Amino acid sequence: MRFVLAIVSFMLAAVMIGYGIAQQTILATPDEVSVSTETDGTAPLTVISGEAFNTYSGNQTIRIEGPRRIMAAYGRSTDVIAWVGDASYNMVTVDPETGDLVSETITGTEQEVPDPYNSDLWLENYEAEDELALTVKIPSDVSFILASDGVDPAPNAVSLSWPLDNSTPWAGTLILGGAAVLLIGLIFLMWAVHHMRRAGGPRRKPQKMPKVPKKPRYKPSKRGAKASDAPSLRTSVRVAVPTVLVSALILSGCTASTAPNSAADQSDPTPTPTSTSEGSTVTAPAVAVRQIEKIVAQISAVSQEADEERDSDLLETRFSDAALEYRLANYKMRKADDSIALPVAIPDGPVQLTLPQQTETWPRTVFTIILDETDSTVAPIALFLEQATPRDNYKVSYAMNLEPSVVFPDVAAASVGTSRLPADSGLLRSSPTEVALDYAEILEQDVDSDSYLDFEAEGDSLRVSVGLAVKNKEKAALSSTATLTYGHELGSADPIAMATIDAGAIVAVHLYETKVAAPKEEGSAVTFSGQTKALSGISITEEGIKSTYGDQLLFYVPAAGSGEKIVLLGYTQGLVAASELK
């Protein structure tokens, strides 16, 4: 019996170990599914739709090959197509029937485009030589754009692959279990051999001496019973062995059928359903937070380099309107007088707040607030960024330091965005244009201004630094030699208003404050120094001089009919022009 148990154990171990090894070798399923296509022609761009990336579930690996530099980037599908514009490009999609990639060349009017690398529209971009492989996880509303340099044809070989779950969780169990059963079989075998040796081999019963013959009696029933005993035992052994073998086969068969990664399951993965925005009434925000973080970092790097080198050409790649005018004037003054301080630096982050415009068209506007972790004494900086066209980068049109004690109004989440209101909007307590002119009157007239009570005075540091009291003090200092005349007008930059949750708005306006200094008597002269001298190049004049200060002002304007006051949230003021009177 012990030998029988050992044999059964060996056979069961062989089945378990063999099937476990087979699951990892000859029965193993593929570990990925891959599709590919090649493009032909001279189109400078290739676009791969987000639906193609989501043909199967899981992480997506894209491999790109070409004879030269490879640029790859991904962004929202609408942004990618907008950047392509009228250029010729290869459109790579997936065939819904076969699941293969197919390429179609769409002919446009442009055969050359700018290098798309580092465009502000992309969530991420990459470059390499000859070959590029990336693993990403993008939704169906995001697409890839490929290019060489915008002039040469785009890379021509593209493949996509997705991992398949071909793990064999039962293989290790079967192999280890088989090893355990094999060990048990060895124990049975050793036990049987040991028992046989102790018994001294097979033993026979001793023969008894025959008795005195008696009258023979015929007893067929007893002999029949003895004859049937041995076959009965042998039959039970023969039945036991097949029973154990059948049990082992059933066990291994159950293991194979319940394995979650069988070849049948993995040979034809079910495509993952793709999401769609059809029917949605909410317009997407202009940018995502990760885009703004990248854009702010690039703007910070450009501003620091341009400020140090007084590089106006570099500055113009990232600044426009009021923010550009303020910095260019500073460069001119510092060229004449290097003791004049640099403009307030724009930190590279962290980004504290992002409020993008809800739009899928251009131009686009984004409001953001940036902290300076390197210097806790520097106030947060608020920027208005504008993008004129899909191929243009965002430029800073307003850059303002926030007031120290400002309480910022509640705004929509960055993933939702908000609307930009027109400059003459009637939805606010005062339109953006009226806010600029009314506040200028307060700086000149203070309590005598008709709009004085509409604006919150507490926490307004600009009134303290350039308000009526300061102006009167300046007039008194020059009263014996010159006259001072103050004025104001709207600046060259358009007002920007972004709606808040309570139906109010964050409003940025550009205001010019002018100061004219003229001699009181004919033949007398007025002398100047500091920034006015550096910007005008004049230190003394008998004609007089006109100085223009550019005010970038940031307000919170409540909704029409609200009893709240208009609050100055922040500002940047600086001399932007100075010239002799004619």
CA–centroid distance for 422 within its chain: 30
pLDDT band at 405 (very low <50, low <70, confident <90, very high): confident
Token code pair at residue 538: 């004049």
pLDDT tens digits along 463-512: 999 999 999 999 998 878 889 999 999 999 999 999 999 999 999 999 99
pLDDT tens digits along 267-292: 333 333 334 444 445 789 999 999 99
More confident residue, 197 or 107: 107
Q: What is the pLDDT of residue 481?
A: 83
Contacts by 373-376 with C-beta closer than 8 Å and gap 24+? 373/347, 373/349, 374/347
**Residue 240 belongs to what H/E stretch?**
helix 220-258
Gap between the Cα atoms of 276 and 141, Å rounded: 7
Q: What is the pLDDT of residue 321?
A: 97
More confident residue, 30 or 39: 39
Average pLDDT of 230-256?
40
More confident residue, 39 or 26: 39
Which range in 56-65, 156-165, 175-184 is most confidently predicted, on average pLDDT? 56-65
Q: What is the pLDDT of residue 236?
A: 42
Q: What is the pLDDT of residue 216?
A: 56
Average pLDDT of 348-358?
95
- What is residue 118's DSSP assignment? T
- Residue 129, CA distances (Å) to 47, 60, 147, 149, 478 in order: 19, 21, 12, 12, 68
% of the chain residues with pLDDT over 90: 63
Sequence-distant (6+) residues with CB within 8 A of 227 are: none
Q: What is the pLDDT of residue 5?
A: 81
pLDDT band at 207 (very low <50, low <70, confident <90, very high): low
Token code pair at residue 343: 């403009």
- Judge residue 313's burial from the number of C-beta atoms within 10 Å of its C-beta, 0-12 exposed, 13-18 middle, 19 or more buried: exposed
Average pLDDT of 361-365?
97
Q: What is the pLDDT of residue 206?
A: 55
Average pLDDT of 293-308?
97
Q: Is a pLDDT exceeding 90 seen at residue 394?
A: yes
pLDDT tens digits along 418-462: 999 999 999 999 999 999 999 999 999 999 999 999 999 999 999
DSSP β-bridge partners for residue 89:
45, 106
- Residue 281, CA distances (Å) to 23, 56, 141 in order: 51, 28, 16
Average pLDDT of 64-75?
94
| Mean pLDDT of all residues belonging to the chain | 85
497: helix, strand or coil: strand
pLDDT tens digits along 2-21: 778 878 887 887 888 887 78
DSSP per residue, 248-297: HHHHHHHHHHH-TT-HHHHSSPPPPPPP--TT--SPPBS--HHHHHHHHH
pLDDT band at 210 (very low <50, low <70, confident <90, very high): low
